[in-house]
Amino acid sequence: MKIVHIIEEVRQSVQAAKKQGAKIGLVPTMGALHAGHGSLIEAAMAECDFVVVTIFVNPTQFGPGEDLDKYPRTLKEDAAYCEKLGADLIFAPSDKEMYPASQLVWVDVDKLTEGLCGAKRPGHFRGVTTVCAKLFNIVGADIAYFGQKDAQQVAVIRQMVQGLNMLLEIRICPIVREPDGLAVSSRNQYLSADERQRAVCLSQALTQCKEQIDAGQRDAAILTARMRTVIEHYGGRIDYVEIVDAEILQPLHAIEGRVLIAVAVFFGRTRLIDNILLDLK
């Protein structure tokens, strides 16, 4: 496995693989790799001949006062993990390599970015779509792999690919969870032991919500109120608790069709997100 830091080096490696007829898989990450990232790499390995993992803590998707500076950077361990899984190439550029001058070109997806995390983190998705568009152009992959953990990101990236006629395919992998249900995240390591225990309330609230829907409850106001009660019982500070249409991400009153139930909760300064996708006939 090679680790490269320069755009030109990625292009050369990928081109050489393509000459051999390889199908190219791309797994974009911010590093501090864990089993969630691992599942994307494994999915890429199963389907592609040459897998590129990008590791870049993208400054343009962090707002003022967010955790850009303290975000874990663990390239050595990440490289060992990628090697173990069998990835072919890591691209770990510097900020300067990705943004050599002040960025004048941005990719913006309207509407889908207005609610949920988009409302709480202004500019976040503009940073995500811009860096993903750049990575797609740099790597030239056939397929890119994303996690359902970031449900709004999935919808936004899909819209970008469709709206800009990008050639690559997007694959979505299920959320990987700890044994108690907490979604695996690079940010979980910020949690104190006590916060870590209480953080189980995100997945518990979502699971209980699903159970109530399975039992016939269709009133989004009642369901979100119950989720809020569960989360607050555990001392989580709610950023949002929403039930939206899974395609357009607009809030639903009566629940039907493809539904996304999404939560964002603070424990101390750590912001965690989780979601469940349901298909109601």
Binding site for ligand AMP (CB under 6 A): 29-30, 36-37, 39-40, 146-147, 149-150, 173, 175-176, 183-186
Residue 199's Cβ-count burial label (10 Å; 0-12, 13-18, 19+) is buried
Token pair 């976040």: residue? 124
Q: How far is the CB of 256 from ligand AMP (least distance, A)?
A: 26
Q: How far is the CB of 170 from ligand AMP (least distance, A)?
A: 10
Question: For ligand AMP, which is the closer residue by CB, 223 or 274?
Answer: 274
Q: How far is the CB of 218 from ligand AMP (least distance, A)?
A: 28
Token pair 């249409």: residue? 245
Structure tokens at 32: 């501090």
Structure tokens at 21: 């007829």
Structure tokens at 45: 């390995």
The helix, strand and coil proportions of the chain, stated in percent and rounded to the nearest 5, come to: 40, 25, 35
Q: How far is the CB of 81 from ligand AMP (least distance, A)?
A: 12
Question: For ligand AMP, which is the closer residue by CB, 259 or 272?
Answer: 272
Question: For ligand AMP, which is the closer residue by CB, 82 or 223?
Answer: 82
* DSSP at 68: T
The catalytically annotated residue of 5, 37, 233, 253 is 37
Strands 24-29 and 50-55, how do they pair? parallel
* Residues written for the chain: 281
Question: For ligand AMP, which is the closer residue by CB, 36 or 236?
Answer: 36
Structural element, H or E, at residue 40:
helix 35-47
37 is catalytic: yes
Contact 127, 61 (CB under 8 A): yes
Contact 232, 205 (CB under 8 A): no
The DSSP bridge partners found for residue 171 are: 145
Question: For ligand AMP, which is the closer residue by CB, 13 or 39?
Answer: 39
Q: How far is the CB of 219 from ligand AMP (least distance, A)?
A: 29
Cα first-last separation, the chain: 46
Residue whose beta carbon is closest to ligand AMP: 147
Which residues are catalytic, by number?
37
